[in-house]
């Protein structure tokens, strides 16, 4: 094992872990959520990276992420064609076809809903413990 081998990690299925902002049962109907990087996997990491493998069997897809905000920035990346999603940024709602990226600056209320299709959603969040997010304040 080399000095930097601790920086090479394998993803894990988030199915058995608690989620903040997400309805677990509803989200799981879309497909598995995999964690590729977070501070539990690599101490000192300043990124959280999640990949959601999505397949909407009965459009429109379910609501599974409550409106919330973070003290840090986030990006949703839909790298392949084939997914239609709705994103709420503040009080504005947009319907978007993938491929696309949505950048969310710190403290902006947001949510995402998959409308139809199948593919991959990647969520990248600057280092933060989700318990420190502004979900409660965002809903007020």
Q: What is the DSSP string of 19-83?
A: -SSB-HHHHHTT--EEEEE-TTTSTT--EEEEEEEEE-SSSSPPP-B--B--SS-EEEEE-SS-E
Q: For the segment 97-122, what is each residue's pLDDT rounded down to a tens digit?
A: 999 999 999 999 999 999 999 999 99
DSSP state of 136: H
Is pLDDT of 129 > 80? no
Question: Domain limits of the chain?
Answer: 11-139
Q: For the segment 39-76, what is each residue's pLDDT rounded down to a tens digit?
A: 888 988 999 999 999 999 989 998 878 899 988 999 99
| pTM of this prediction exceeds 0.95 | no
Q: Could you report how far apart the first and last alpha carbons of the chain are, in Å?
A: 50
At residue 36's C-alpha, the angle toward residues 113 and 115, to 5°, is: 15
CATH of domain 11-139: 2.60.120.10
């Amino acid at each position: 094992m080399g000095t930097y081998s601790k920086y090479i990690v394998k993803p894990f299925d988030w199915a058995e872990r608690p989620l903040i902002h997400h309805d677990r049962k509803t989200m799981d109907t879309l497909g598995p959520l995999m964690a590729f990087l977070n501070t539990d996997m690599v101490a000192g990491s300043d990124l959280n990276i999640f990949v959601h493998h999505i397949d909407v069997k009965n459009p429109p897809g379910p609501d599974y992420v409550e409106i919330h905000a973070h003290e840090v920035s986030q990006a949703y990346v839909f790298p392949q064609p084939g997914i239609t999603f709705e994103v709420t940024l503040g009080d504005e709602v947009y319907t978007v076809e993938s491929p696309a990226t949505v950048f969310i600056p710190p403290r902006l209320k947001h949510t995402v809903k998959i409308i139809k299709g199948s593919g991959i959603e990647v969520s990248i969040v600057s280092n933060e413990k989700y318990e420190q997010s502004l979900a409660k304040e965002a809903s007020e």
